[in-house]
């Protein structure tokens, strides 16, 4: 597990300041978000002094008191579109339990189902031999919310799968579990399986993983472009047919929206994060927030950023200093690539303009602190790219690759600007960086339009409605198949 601290360039006061905005946000967010902060601090090696903690709590309380005075009456809560799942038995099967997107998204579904009274069971296929702190914390988070965590092996797993009204397999890799655990009873479970797929990389197209895919009740995928990719690849490469497939765009959690729409919280976070990075309030921050890897395009982003700095210098543009922030660093996971990025920064002598921040589950502080999000995923892009809608919730314009789910989120020229993947995209991205750096009104207008788009289609309520439509259809099919088997 990486230490979730910033890897700065000479900003040794970061840890002390981190305590202050971390505690402030802790007090502002709901319990479902708070766990991430505690888990991060458990792996943080820095000393947390009493004086810093007291100072942070006092500051946060003041922020909350001011925010509460401005609070408007809350409208009547709409009934959940998932209310029909009350008393239904649902089994959720995840390939792993970690801080990565797939498992966390499945946990969100677990909590949505529990909130309407469903009986929810969770199984993790690949668990470490010794329970680590991440697994322990996430399992107890689920137990606290009434999700029953059971073994993915043996008789209990089989009995739970047979008793369930619905089985959700999470990611393509989870497919192996069907044969290993269910064995001869697999045919009894397949008609009530909904397969939730998030991957779009070629190495997931193996019969070992997906041979049962044509026989499940349905597949749920996060974007239209990924759905088409799966349909074409399974037919061409594996000669199998996809089941009925449903596209479900994701939505922002209520917790994230709460922070994104609280101007006081955002101001506090912005000030503390910027101070920790050593940048001024008027400086312009362009950030890429993704696990550092070649596929996420941090190397090409840095080349574009350097090219943008050169353009600004050549044309003698009078604008505030630009900074690049790379959130998602993990030297232990991508040592060679991480060193390559840092060597490039040193070679181009832009150490004072580039800031590396370690991998973190908590993106809200950085979204509050930056001016533009760069979504630079390469090849086929992101399956969806949830960070994109999270940034738009914070009224940030997005500079994204014209690939994958990004094209279904970002309206080119309206909520952001798109550029090609690969080396051909380096100069266009550089020019787009300059465009948004030099046109303040355009940058702010794009951010506002992005926020409006989120409110129209990318909220938790929207995602729940889309998932509800899929679950109703899958339950109907399952019931019809069961009736035919009985008769």
DSSP string across 10-47 = S-TTHHHHHHHHHHHHHHHS-HHHHHHHHHHHHT--S-
CB 358 within 8 A of CB 4: yes
Q: 122 and 165 share a domain?
A: yes
User: What pTM value is reported for the model?
Assistant: 0.84
- Mean pLDDT, residues 16-26: 47
Q: How far is CA 405 from CA 251, 301, 375, in A?
A: 13, 19, 11
Note whether 278 and 172 are same-domain residues: no
Q: Are 217 and 289 in the same domain?
A: no
Q: Could you tell me if 238 and 262 lie in one domain?
A: no
Question: Do 101 and 197 have their domain in common?
Answer: yes
pLDDT for residue 150 is more than 70: yes
What distance lies between CA 81 and its chain's CA centroid?
Answer: 23
Do residues 211 and 297 share a domain? no
Structure confidence at residue 56 as a pLDDT band (50, 70, 90): very low
Q: Residue range 140-158: average pLDDT?
A: 95
* Domain final residue pick, 216, 247, 278: 247
Do 406 and 289 belong together in one domain?
yes
CB atoms within 10 A of CB 330: 18
Give the relative orientation of helices 335-347 and 298-314 as an angle to the nearest 10 degrees.
10
Under the banding of pLDDT at 50, 70 and 90, the label for residue 76 is low
Final residue in a domain of this structure, among 247, 264, 290: 247
> Distance between CA 455 and CA 452 in Å, rounded?
5
Averaged pLDDT score across all residues of the chain: 85
Q: Is residue 306 part of a domain?
A: yes
Distance (Å, whole) CA 183 – CA 433: 54
Residue 262 lies in a domain: yes
Statement: residue 9 has pLDDT above 90: no
Distance of CA 272 to the CA centre of its chain: 23
pLDDT of 147 over the 90 cut: yes
Asked if residue 156 is part of any domain, the answer here is yes
Domain count, the chain: 2
pLDDT at 35: 35
Q: What are 93's strand-pairing partners?
A: 123, 169
How many Å apart are CA 323 and CA 343, to the nearest integer? 17
Residue 10 predicted with pLDDT over 70: no
Residue 240 lies in a domain: yes
- Please report whether residue 475 resides in a domain: no
**pLDDT (tens digit per residue) in 353-378:** 999 999 887 899 999 999 999 999 99
pLDDT at 32 over 50: no
In 267-353, beta strands by DSSP E:
284-289, 322-329
In the prediction, which pLDDT does 45 show? Answer: 29
Q: Domain residues for 123?
A: 83-247
**What is d(CA 291, CA 166) in angstroms, rounded to the nearest whole number?**
32
459-469 confidence digits (pLDDT tens)? 999 999 999 99
| CATH code, 92 | 3.40.50.2000
Same domain, 322 and 183: no
Is 440 in the same domain as 317?
Answer: yes
Say if 478 falls within a structural domain. Answer: no
Residue 33 lies in a domain: no
Q: 324: phi > 0 → left, psi -120 to 50 → alpha, else beta; which?
A: beta
Residue 89 belongs to what H/E stretch?
strand 89-94
CA distance 482 to 487: 9
Same domain for 203 and 99?
Answer: yes
- 252-310 pLDDT, tens digit per residue, is 999 999 999 999 999 999 999 999 999 999 999 999 999 899 999 999 999 999 999 99
Q: What is the mean pLDDT of residues 74-84?
A: 80
Question: For residue 203, is pLDDT > 80?
Answer: no
Residues 186 and 271 in one domain: no
Co-location of 330 and 416 in the same domain: yes
Whether 63 maps to a domain, the answer reads no
Domain boundary among 214, 230, 247: 247
């Amino acid at each position: 597990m990486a230490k979730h601290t910033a890897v700065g360039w000479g900003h040794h006061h970061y840890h002390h300041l981190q305590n202050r905005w971390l505690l402030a946000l802790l007090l502002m967010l709901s319990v479902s978000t708070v766990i991430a902060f505690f888990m991060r601090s458990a792996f943080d090696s820095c000393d947390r002094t009493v004086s810093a903690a007291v100072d942070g709590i006092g500051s946060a309380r003041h922020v909350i008191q001011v925010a509460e005075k401005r609070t408007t009456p809350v409208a009547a809560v709409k009934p959940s579109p998932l209310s029909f799942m009350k008393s239904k038995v649902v089994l959720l099967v995840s390939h792993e339990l970690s801080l990565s997107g797939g498992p966390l998204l499945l946990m969100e579904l677990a909590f949505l189902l529990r909130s309407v009274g469903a009986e929810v069971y969770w199984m993790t296929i690949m668990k470490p031999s010794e329970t680590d702190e991440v697994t322990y914390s996430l399992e107890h988070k689920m137990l606290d919310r009434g999700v029953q965590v059971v073994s993915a092996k043996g008789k209990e797993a089989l009995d739970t799968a047979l008793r369930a009204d619905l089985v959700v397999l999470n990611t393509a890799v989870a497919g192996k579990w069907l044969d290993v655990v269910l064995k001869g009873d697999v045919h009894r479970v397949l008609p009530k399986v909904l397969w939730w797929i998030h991957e779009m990389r070629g190495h997931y197209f193996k019969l070992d993983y997906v041979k049962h895919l044509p026989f499940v009740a349905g597949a749920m995928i996060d974007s239209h472009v990924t759905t088409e990719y799966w349909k074409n690849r399974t037919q061409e490469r594996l000669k199998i047919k996809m089941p009925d497939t449903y596209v479900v765009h994701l939505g922002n959690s209520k917790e994230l929206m709460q922070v994104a729409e609280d101007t006081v919280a955002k101001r506090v976070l912005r000030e503390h994060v910027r101070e920790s990075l050593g940048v001024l309030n008027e400086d312009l921050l362009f950030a890429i927030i993704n696990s550092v890897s070649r596929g996420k395009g941090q190397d090409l982003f840095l080349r574009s950023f350097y090219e943008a700095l050169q353009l600004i210098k050549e044309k003698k543009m009078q604008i505030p200093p630009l900074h690049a922030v790379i959130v998602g660093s993990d030297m232990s996971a991508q040592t060679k690539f991480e060193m390559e990025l840092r060597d490039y920064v040193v070679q181009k002598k832009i150490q004072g303009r580039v800031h590396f921040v370690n991998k973190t589950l908590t993106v809200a502080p950085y979204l509050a602190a930056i001016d533009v999000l760069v979504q630079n995923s390469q090849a086929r892009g992101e399956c969806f790219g949830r960070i994109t809608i999270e940034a738009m919730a914070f009224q940030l314009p997005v500079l994204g690759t014209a690939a994958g789910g990004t094209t279904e989120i970002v309206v080119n020229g309206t909520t952001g600007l798109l550029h090609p993947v690969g080396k051909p995209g380096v100069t266009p991205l550089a020019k787009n960086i300059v465009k948004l750096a030099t046109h303040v009104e355009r940058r702010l207008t794009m951010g506002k339009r992005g926020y409006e788009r989120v409110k129209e289609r990318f909220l938790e309520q929207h995602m729940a409605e889309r998932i509800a439509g899929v679950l109703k259809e899958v339950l109907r099919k399952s019931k019809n198949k069961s009736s035919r088997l009985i008769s």
